[in-house]
């Protein structure tokens, strides 16, 4: 009963249009998805290729994961690498007491810094230049000061935390890399893929993040990075434990990516010194779905509107590389941190819902009940927003072309849902001007008259519901349209149901 019902674009044999799962590429979205010429080219390449894959098929990751990450600025004492068991368990209790767990936020993700660094080799920023040697069985040594063991030398500090999180109905995630070392200089999985996978399973880990960045001992350009990730996938499959595998392949130009100790014959040039793909088969959105459950393709998010728009816009046109168990991730959300306006955080949460993106919090949960977090509470505890994000088909919404009808600084997004209804969002990216935005319901089933394909017929009513405000807007004739005024850097989220 734990079999993963996954229908990715890569299959065991030649792909045809008829094999593409309706929920991942709903016919109602075809005209929007095909608006990008390069998508047609990509599909042509895929459709003529014989590609054999071995997917990570363990029954998890079929929907966007939800939780909290420890990678927070100014949260841990001293620096971001000083994550501790005590702090993680405090977060677990906060997820429960705030009600966040009840709406689905159940992963507690430990980021970099949990292994032990050799004495004298950690700098003031928390980065390690020489990790503690692995144990005889190749296990990574957990920092006993951050994650105390049950007995001296037991090396079970992470397992203790995992057991406590499980007892609270929560799940635990851990950070590593497809390199010898992580971004912080702690142990990665390169060369230890199978033994580390076994180690994580024995510790009770539910989620593993591999960060394809910072180090230069594996590259997307010569197969070494993808080879490591594939071995991790196979190792996780072999454990029999349902572990969600997340690949962070962002930050494509952050630092060198070529290191050639074995004379691999990789030229050091503009491309090989980065993660910038030269060909389709190097782009993570073409291979990530057959290696892990979720993957990030662009730079790390920071708490600013330009970062939000950059990371969401990069996924436009790649909708059909998403399906249940193969989720694109624009990176963690920053809602609650305070660096953006309430309207900008609405844009963030509504877009993540429309894109079926992972909902990962990155703010101090101790502030959740503060007076200035009222908007945050309204967004995160809204089960109807979560329901759109967690729809079982995992359709990545499409940005609809409406030039000439709506202002160029505004976007209309549409997302079909598994029950036959749709979600749609109005997004105003203009920083200064309020804009009226319109969506067309069409009539008579004519493609040109509707933003919904194939479009409702003339005897159909469109019932529009404002998801953000939790109120009904009204019924509209299928031959008409719906308009709303959206403030600068703000968004509205709606759900529409067509009835005859």
**Cα distances (angstroms) measured from residue 157 to each of 42, 115, 119, 144, 185:** 46, 10, 19, 7, 20
Q: What is residue 112's three-state secondary structure? A: coil
d(CA 366, CA 163): 23
Q: Is cis: bond before 454, omega within 30 of 0? A: yes
**Residue in the structure block whose two tokens are 């075809």:** 30
Reading the chain (500 residues) residue by residue, the pLDDT tens digits are 333 333 332 222 223 223 333 333 333 333 333 334 344 344 434 433 333 345 677 999 999 999 999 998 788 998 999 999 999 999 999 999 999 999 999 999 999 999 999 999 999 999 999 999 999 999 999 999 999 999 999 999 999 999 999 999 999 999 999 999 999 999 999 999 999 999 999 999 999 999 987 787 888 888 888 999 999 999 999 999 999 999 998 777 655 455 544 445 566 666 666 777 878 888 998 899 899 999 999 999 999 999 999 999 999 999 989 999 999 999 999 999 999 999 999 999 999 999 999 999 999 999 999 999 999 999 999 999 999 999 999 999 999 877 677 888 999 999 999 999 999 999 999 999 999 999 988 655 444 567 876 555 667 788 999 999 999 999 988 678 899 999 999 999 999 998 87
d(CA 439, CA 441): 7
**Residue 379: predicted pLDDT:** 98
Which secondary-structure segment (H or E) carries 492? strand 490-499
**Residue 38: predicted pLDDT:** 40
Reference 127, options 86, 76, 185; nearest CA is 185
**What residues have CB less than 8 Å from 335, skipping those under 6 apart?**
345, 348, 349, 361, 363, 376, 379, 380
**Residue 272: predicted pLDDT:** 66
Residues 157-174 as b or e (16 or more Cβ within 10 Å = b)? bbbbbbeebeeeebbbbb
**Residue 407: predicted pLDDT:** 87
């Amino acid at each position: 009963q734990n079999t993963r019902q996954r229908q990715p674009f890569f299959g065991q044999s030649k792909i045809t249009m008829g094999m593409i799962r309706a929920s991942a590429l709903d016919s109602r979205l075809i005209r929007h998805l095909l608006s990008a010429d390069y998508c047609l080219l990509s599909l042509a390449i895929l459709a003529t290729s014989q590609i054999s894959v071995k997917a990570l098929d363990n029954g998890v990751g079929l929907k966007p994961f939800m939780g909290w990450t420890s990678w927070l600025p100014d949260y841990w004492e001293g620096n971001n690498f000083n994550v501790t068991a005590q702090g993680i368990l405090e977060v677990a209790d906060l997820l429960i007491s705030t009600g966040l767990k009840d709406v689905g936020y159940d992963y507690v993700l430990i980021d970099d810094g949990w292994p032990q660094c050799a004495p004298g080799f950690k700098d003031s920023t928390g980065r390690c230049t020489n990790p503690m040697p692995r144990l005889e069985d190749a296990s990574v040594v957990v920092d006993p000061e951050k994650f105390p063991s049950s007995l001296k030398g037991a090396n079970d500090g992470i397992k203790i935390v995992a057991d406590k999180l499980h007892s609270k109905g929560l799940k635990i995630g851990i950070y590593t890399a497809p390199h010898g070392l992580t971004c912080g200089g702690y142990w990665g999985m390169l060369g230890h893929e199978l033994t580390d996978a076994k180690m994580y399973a024995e510790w009770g880990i539910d989620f593993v993040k591999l960060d394809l960045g910072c180090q230069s001992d594996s590259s997307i350009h010569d197969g070494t990075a993808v080879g490591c990730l594939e071995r991790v996938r196979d190792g996780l499959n072999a454990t029999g434990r349902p572990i969600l595998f997340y690949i962070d392949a962002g930050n494509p130009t952050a630092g060198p990516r070529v290191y050639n100790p074995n004379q691999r014959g990789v030229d050091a040039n503009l491309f090989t010194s980065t993660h910038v793909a030269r060909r389709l088969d190097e782009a993570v959105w073409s291979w990530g779905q057959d290696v892990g459950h979720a993957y990030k393709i662009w730079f790390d998010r920071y708490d600013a509107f330009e970062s939000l728009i950059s990371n969401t816009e990069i996924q436009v046109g790649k909708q059909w590389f998403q399906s249940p168990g193969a989720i694109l991730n624009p990176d963690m959300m920053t809602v609650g941190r305070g660096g953006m306006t309430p309207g900008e955080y609405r844009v963030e949460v509504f877009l993540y819902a429309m894109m079926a993106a992972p909902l990962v919090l990155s703010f101090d949960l101790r502030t959740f009940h503060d007076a200035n977090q009222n908007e945050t509470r309204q967004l995160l505890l809204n089960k109807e927003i979560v329901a759109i994000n967690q729809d079982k088909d995992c359709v990545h919404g499409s940005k609809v072309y409406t030039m000439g009808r709506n202002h160029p600084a505004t976007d209309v997004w549409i997302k079909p849902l598994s029950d036959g209804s749709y979600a749609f969002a109005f997004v105003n990216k203009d920083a200064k001007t309020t804009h009226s935005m319109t969506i067309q319901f069409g009539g008579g089933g004519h493609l040109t008259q509707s933003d919904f394909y194939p479009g409702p017929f003339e005897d159909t009513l469109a019932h529009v519901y404002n998801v953000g405000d939790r109120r009904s807007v009204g019924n509209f004739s299928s031959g008409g349209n719906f308009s709303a005024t959206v403030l600068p850097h703000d968004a509205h989220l709606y759900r529409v149901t067509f009835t005859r």
